[in-house]
């Protein structure tokens, strides 16, 4: 069955630290990949997406993600986190039609 795995459920960082959140998907065909973010008390919203082309995609607020096909991975990165990045992050994969499979989420807490 298709699935999305996120490596960490909880991450705690100090401000200015670098961030990398792992995401792996299990599907051998063409896949669209997403990272969504949910800030405390807010709607889930799109952070960035990959459909094709350059495997390094940039999103809002300085986030980027790299698609590595050989590793079935789509890791999220940010060079220097801020307190305002405290949120829950979800990796998601879309393999056909509009059905999207979400990972379990990673809760990031950034200490000021």
Return residues touching another protein (CB under 8 A): 4, 6, 9, 32, 34, 36, 43-46, 49, 51, 90, 92, 94, 98-105
Nearer to another protein, 17 or 101 (CB): 101
> How far is residue 76 from each of residues 41, 72, 96, 98, 101, measured CA to CA in Å?
22, 13, 23, 22, 17
SS3 29: coil
Q: How many CB atoms lie within 10 A of CB 104?
A: 11
CB of 43 to another protein, least distance (A): 5
Q: How far is CA 95 from CA 46, 51, 100, in A?
A: 17, 11, 7
Looking at the Cβ atoms of 51 and 80, the one nearer to another protein is 51
Nearer to another protein, 3 or 84 (CB): 3
Q: How far is the CB of 34 from another protein (least distance, A)?
A: 7
What is the closest distance, in whole angstroms, from the C-beta atom of residue 102 to another protein in the complex? 4
């Amino acid at each position: 069955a298709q699935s999305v795995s996120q490596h960490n459920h909880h991450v705690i960082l100090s401000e200015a630290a670098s961030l990398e959140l792992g995401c792996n998907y299990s599907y051998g065909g063409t896949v669209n990949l997403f990272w969504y973010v949910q800030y405390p008390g807010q709607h889930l919203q799109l952070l960035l997406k990959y459909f094709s082309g350059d495997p390094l995609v940039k999103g809002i607020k300085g986030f980027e993600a790299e698609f590595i096909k050989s590793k079935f991975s789509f890791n999220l990165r940010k060079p220097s986190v801020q307190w305002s990045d405290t949120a829950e992050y979800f990796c998601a994969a879309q393999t056909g039609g509009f059905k999207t499979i979400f990972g379990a989420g990673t809760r990031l807490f950034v200490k000021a």
